[in-house]
A and B are shown apart, each in its own frame.
Chain A
């Protein structure tokens, strides 16, 4: 039987009462050794008997129709088995949590780089060669691919609170700035890959996916079969960052080719395929208007943005998400415009919205502080809202002020000098700050826990995308059952297991973690019954149960497997309370006044994001996010050709994620204690994406503090910094 739990009221802090004492400890991840020794089996690592190899063929026009796939041009090549096309093939990955087939374009081409066929051969090399040699004939159509120039735009209705125009008119100081951020990609280390195999009308797909429950529905819908004929396995994922939320075209191609050829087929994307056909983060053009009174009270706040996507994609980068709850103002207004272009479609990339929206908002706050002559930390502290500015919900917990103050003290903010006045040789030195915020979510999740003597197993289709799910679920179950986590096995990423949220939106640990907690809690009830004590008198520690003067070893007490299964979903607390992670980023940079090169010298993030389940994996998440912030501020940019929309930077030599030398040795992360009773029964909040939210802005603000000049276009590449110095 499955317990069902709805988050309708604040929850007691059970994990502060239990006695095992493993929650929050910086435990090593149990899967770590396998990962560094190459024995963790990622999707493409499996060798299946009789497996053929598929390579995707991309469209080389930006709009039109395939009139001849050119099968004859490659069928004579050694080892080539078939050129597979099919009306069920998909043009791009599903958007996150779609649960249904992505667009299936048939012979139509919607963007340059769209997968239009899969060439299958006996070897990977033969398939790749044939995919490159295939001579495809098209009928071309005109299409706009330049997001700035396309006439095809959809302007959303403004989201407002109060009267922005009136508040703006009243303001003593007005700042009206436009910022741009380029398209970015997730650039997960493991390229997208899938192996499909059919047995008795059922397809088993090994793939690298973040949200197995949704992916199963997506594959079934794409193929037009019942979901119970689909099994998905995704036990290890080599990074996702949103790029593996939805079922990808490589997985669909593998499933279709395998069905047609009657043998297992593996399709692995090349890095170039990943750039061409995996959802990117949209470029943004953002207009931020801040109006304030002379004494530094925000009166008017508006954040309008323009993003792009391909027709038929429902996703639009939610740029102003954090701007809608971070600060108070009398009038707030947010309008989004979506430009429709023929180019690689856009979707969720780590912290959609905040990752780029906060760069603009927080840079504008910094400039406003300058205009007002107030300290940037003070300006933020003075403008925190009492309740959610748009809908009036109470904040569940919010320690933003503590984060800013604690961070300022640790970073030596008080010693900050006047803008543009400190140099070391040719290097100009500056410090910057930014708030961090990322809304927190609870997504329906189930998990099952089995207790066999003093060993337990956690089972859920939740994924570990390098984040530490294996570690934290073993800690949660271990804590609840009084077991050392190494006595808890965690099985993940199998669609036959109870369906969880999957990894996305930083909600995985909270959602699947809560389901695991509830499943284990149910077992505690059974243990108490067996021991003969009330549940609230039960203490479980190191494999021993105690309560009401009774004691027993679990290995003896539990003579038959105990199974607990639970499902959790959001409820009334979500309507009454707004939950988000908060933090403050600080950065110090050196800018070369001749060449415009920027080097980050140190960074600090102070964060309050609910209960920390594992100090080490949490810290890694925060650090990873901060490094993305450096990338956003300084290095990362997808360049596309405005004429046909094709991605020009199609490999990691041209798309610059930060290298080690871009990341300073001095990267500090501090967690402030917090319990969010309104969020979920384990009092956690999302962690991963908070690290990136605002981090880039701290770097951008530090640059302007160093040079005395502002840059409005990210990334701040050397030439952009130079032109800001000598406009």
Chain B
């Protein structure tokens, strides 16, 4: 770690003075190995009003400093948006979730191992340097939305759930203005600047995440497949919410994790399912639509098969087509 200036923000304006630190569970690791080398770190954890979950209209406004533990355990979240709770609990460990914050989780960096190793070329770390993961070991890389410059996937579980729930990110700009950005517009693809990952401008502070009104009677789950039973980043994940309207599916919402530089969504797939009766044949066709014909890196070719199968299995369980024994399907209630 380089020597830093540490400042504690006492007003929102102070937050623009340097690299924000919240729980520090990602930033500190990256600073220790000098993947991130900020001169100034601004601690926002004493700022007022960012640590609570409040009802807003029919939804919830989740302060940026609400910890992952608090959010996952919130009774309102567990009842109305259970898939969010499940996604968070599928991530990291209890100790890390106790420190990790809502804002920090959204902005955690990729787990591409080449990004973490300063002896390796990485365009996300140093734009223009090259991408050592291309041609290297790439099991954790993405399937969709990559660019020539970067193949990395976004590792957050929480963000995938928020995407499926159509949440918005509330941002306070350096000049004090607040704006809200739907989560699927919040992240940007790598293009030729993989170091820029979101629409945040210099000095922007995430103040909250806002959940829209919950769906009564929806069946929800977060299905995460990983290399061990717990405490590992997803190989692929599927966040799903489906409401059965008699025999047909309605309010279908799906997002996919660890397959793209941000939570991946496919509106065509949703359109194929919406209003239809669940069937294996339909799910197979939808999977054909979802899964690309090739992978950007040979080591992620398996994700095509794994995503397809996880997608189908999840839909089968959400719609009652498959046996849900041993899975974690929740029904929302207000």
Given contacts A425-B323, A656-B227, A719-B235, contact A641 B306 (CB under 8 A): no
Residue from B3, B34, B229, B323 whose CB has the most chain A CB atoms within 10 Å: B229
Evaluate contact between A653 and B111: CB separation under 8 angstroms: yes
Q: Count residues of A near B (Cβ-Cβ below 8 Å).
A: 46
Instruction: Note all chain B residues with C-beta closer than 8 A to A595.
Output: 223, 225, 306, 309-310, 313
In the assembled complex, B272 has its CB within 8 A of some CB on chain A? no
Using an 8 Å CB-CB cutoff, how does the interface string of B275-300 with A read, 1 for contact, 0 for none? 00000000000000000000000000
Give the interface segment out of B78-86, B132-140, B186-194, B198-206. B132-140
Chain B residue with Cβ nearest A600: B229
> From residue 206 to 252 of chain B, which have CB atoms closer than 8 A to chain A?
223, 225-233, 235
Using an 8 Å CB-CB cutoff, how does the interface string of B110-143 with A read, 1 for contact, 0 for none? 0101101111100000000000100111010000
Query: Would you give the shortest CB distance from A597 to chain B, in whole angstroms?
Result: 6
Give the interface segment out of A19-27, A124-132, A532-540. A124-132
Given contacts A426-B327, A641-B136, contact A650 B117 (CB under 8 A): yes
Evaluate contact between B3 and A129: CB separation under 8 angstroms: yes
Evaluate contact between A718 and B3: CB separation under 8 angstroms: no
Evaluate contact between B117 and A594: CB separation under 8 angstroms: no
Bound Cα distance from A657 to B230, whole angstroms: 11
Instruction: Note all chain B residues with C-beta closer than 8 A to A718.
Output: 225-227, 235, 306
Using an 8 Å CB-CB cutoff, how does the interface string of B1-26 with A read, 1 for contact, 0 for none? 11100000000000000000000000
Which of A425, A648, A660 makes the CB contact (< 8 A) with B113?
A648
Bound Cα distance from A368 to B28, whole angstroms: 52
Query: Would you give the shortest CB distance from A542 to chain B, in whole angstroms?
Result: 46
Evaluate contact between B326 and A425: CB separation under 8 angstroms: yes
Given contacts A129-B2, A129-B3, contact A426 B230 (CB under 8 A): no
In the assembled complex, A350 has its CB within 8 A of some CB on chain B? no
Evaluate contact between A641 and B137: CB separation under 8 angstroms: yes
Give the interface segment out of A63-71, A163-171, A632-640. A632-640
Evaluate contact between A722 and B305: CB separation under 8 angstroms: yes
In the assembled complex, A206 has its CB within 8 A of some CB on chain B? no
In the assembled complex, B325 has its CB within 8 A of some CB on chain A? yes
Which of A78, A596, A656 makes the CB contact (< 8 A) with B3?
A78
Instruction: Note all chain A residues with C-beta closer than 8 A to B113.
Output: 639, 648-650, 654
In the assembled complex, B161 has its CB within 8 A of some CB on chain A? no
In the assembled complex, B49 has its CB within 8 A of some CB on chain A? no
In the assembled complex, B33 has its CB within 8 A of some CB on chain A? yes
In the assembled complex, A111 has its CB within 8 A of some CB on chain B? no
In the assembled complex, A340 has its CB within 8 A of some CB on chain B? no
Which of B223, B306, B326 makes the CB contact (< 8 A) with A596?
B306
Bound Cα distance from A641 to B225, whole angstroms: 24
Evaluate contact between A597 and B225: CB separation under 8 angstroms: yes
Bound Cα distance from A648 to B136, whole angstroms: 9
> From residue 39 to 71 of chain A, which have CB atoms closer than 8 A to chain B?
58, 60
Instruction: Note all chain B residues with C-beta closer than 8 A to A597.
Output: 225, 229
Query: Would you give the shortest CB distance from A723 to chain B, in whole angstroms?
Result: 8
- What are the 3 closest A-B residue pairs judged by CB atoms, nearest first? A425-B325, A594-B313, A719-B302
Evaluate contact between B119 and A643: CB separation under 8 angstroms: no
In the assembled complex, A661 has its CB within 8 A of some CB on chain B? yes
Bound Cα distance from A133 to B135, whole angstroms: 26
Using an 8 Å CB-CB cutoff, how does the interface string of B26-37 with A read, 1 for contact, 0 for none? 000000111000
Instruction: Note all chain A residues with C-beta closer than 8 A to B159.
Output: none
Evaluate contact between B233 and A653: CB separation under 8 angstroms: yes
Given contacts A641-B136, A650-B113, A722-B306, contact A599 B324 (CB under 8 A): no
Instruction: Note all chain B residues with C-beta closer than 8 A to A640.
Output: 137
Chain B residue with Cβ nearest A78: B3
Instruction: Please give 13 more A-B residue pairs, beta carbons under 8 A apart, in addition to A594-B313, A635-B227, A651-B116.
Output: A128-B1, A132-B118, A424-B325, A426-B323, A426-B325, A597-B229, A634-B228, A639-B137, A653-B233, A654-B113, A659-B228, A661-B230, A662-B230
Using an 8 Å CB-CB cutoff, how does the interface string of A567-601 with B read, 1 for contact, 0 for none? 00000000000000000000000101011110100
Query: Would you give the shortest CB distance from A645 to chain B, in whole angstroms?
Result: 11
Instruction: Note all chain A residues with C-beta closer than 8 A to B132.
Output: 641
Query: Would you give the shortest CB distance from A638 to chain B, in whole angstroms?
Result: 10
Evaluate contact between A643 and B135: CB separation under 8 angstroms: yes
Which of A634, A635, A639, A719 makes the CB contact (< 8 A) with B305?
A719
Evaluate contact between B139 and A659: CB separation under 8 angstroms: no
Residue from B111, B135, B231, B322 whose CB has the most chain A CB atoms within 10 Å: B231
In the assembled complex, B312 has its CB within 8 A of some CB on chain A? yes
Which of B3, B120, B309 makes the CB contact (< 8 A) with A722?
B309
Query: Would you give the shortest CB distance from B303 to chain A, in whole angstroms?
Result: 8
Given contacts A112-B119, A649-B113, contact A426 B305 (CB under 8 A): no
Instruction: Note all chain A residues with C-beta closer than 8 A to B310.
Output: 594-595
In the assembled complex, A712 has its CB within 8 A of some CB on chain B? no
Instruction: Note all chain A residues with C-beta closer than 8 A to B139.
Output: 639
> From residue 399 to 456 of chain A, which have CB atoms closer than 8 A to chain B?
424-427
Instruction: Pull 28 A–B residue pairs with CB atoms less than 8 Å apart, ordered by A.
Output: A129-B3, A132-B33, A133-B34, A272-B33, A424-B326, A425-B324, A425-B325, A425-B327, A426-B313, A595-B225, A596-B225, A596-B309, A635-B227, A640-B137, A641-B137, A646-B119, A648-B114, A649-B113, A653-B111, A653-B232, A653-B233, A656-B228, A659-B229, A662-B228, A718-B306, A719-B306, A722-B302, A722-B306
> From residue 345 to 370 of chain A, which have CB atoms closer than 8 A to chain B?
none
Bound Cα distance from A595 to B323, whole angstroms: 14
Evaluate contact between A129 and B326: CB separation under 8 angstroms: no
Chain B residue with Cβ nearest A594: B313
Query: Would you give the shortest CB distance from B97 to chain A, in whole angstroms?
Result: 15
Chain A residue with Cβ nearest B113: A648
Instruction: Note all chain B residues with C-beta closer than 8 A to A649.
Output: 113
In the assembled complex, A30 has its CB within 8 A of some CB on chain B? no
Residue from A599, A639, A648, A650 whose CB has the most chain B CB atoms within 10 Å: A648
Instruction: Note all chain A residues with C-beta closer than 8 A to B137.
Output: 639-642, 648
Bound Cα distance from A440 to B111, whole angstroms: 43
In the assembled complex, A670 has its CB within 8 A of some CB on chain B? no
In the assembled complex, A10 has its CB within 8 A of some CB on chain B? no
Chain A residue with Cβ nearest B225: A595
Bound Cα distance from A60 to B114, whole angstroms: 13
Query: Would you give the shortest CB distance from A128 to chain B, in whole angstroms?
Result: 7
Which of B117, B230, B324 makes the CB contact (< 8 A) with A646?
B117
Query: Would you give the shortest CB distance from A340 to chain B, in whole angstroms?
Result: 21
In the assembled complex, A175 has its CB within 8 A of some CB on chain B? no
Instruction: Note all chain A residues with C-beta closer than 8 A to B225.
Output: 595-597, 718
Using an 8 Å CB-CB cutoff, how does the interface string of A640-679 with B read, 1 for contact, 0 for none? 1111001011110110101111100000000000000000
Evaluate contact between B32 and A128: CB separation under 8 angstroms: yes
Query: Would you give the shortest CB distance from A680 to chain B, in whole angstroms?
Result: 39
> From residue 89 to 147 of chain A, which have CB atoms closer than 8 A to chain B?
112, 125, 128-129, 132-133
Bound Cα distance from A309 to B127, whole angstroms: 36
Instruction: Note all chain A residues with C-beta closer than 8 A to B120.
Output: 646
Bound Cα distance from A217 to B225, whole angstroms: 49
Chain A residue with Cβ nearest B235: A718
Chain A residue with Cβ nearest B231: A659
Instruction: Note all chain B residues with C-beta closer than 8 A to A594.
Output: 309-310, 312-313
Bound Cα distance from A649 to B323, whole angstroms: 36
Which of A128, A133, A426, A653 makes the CB contact (< 8 A) with B322?
A426
Chain B residue with Cβ nearest A590: B326
Query: Would you give the shortest CB distance from A80 to chain B, in whole angstroms?
Result: 12
Instruction: Note all chain A residues with C-beta closer than 8 A to B114.
Output: 648
In the assembled complex, A717 has its CB within 8 A of some CB on chain B? yes
Instruction: Note all chain B residues with C-beta closer than 8 A to A719.
Output: 235, 302, 305-306
Query: Would you give the shortest CB distance from B41 to chain A, in whole angstroms?
Result: 14
Instruction: Note all chain A residues with C-beta closer than 8 A to B312.
Output: 594
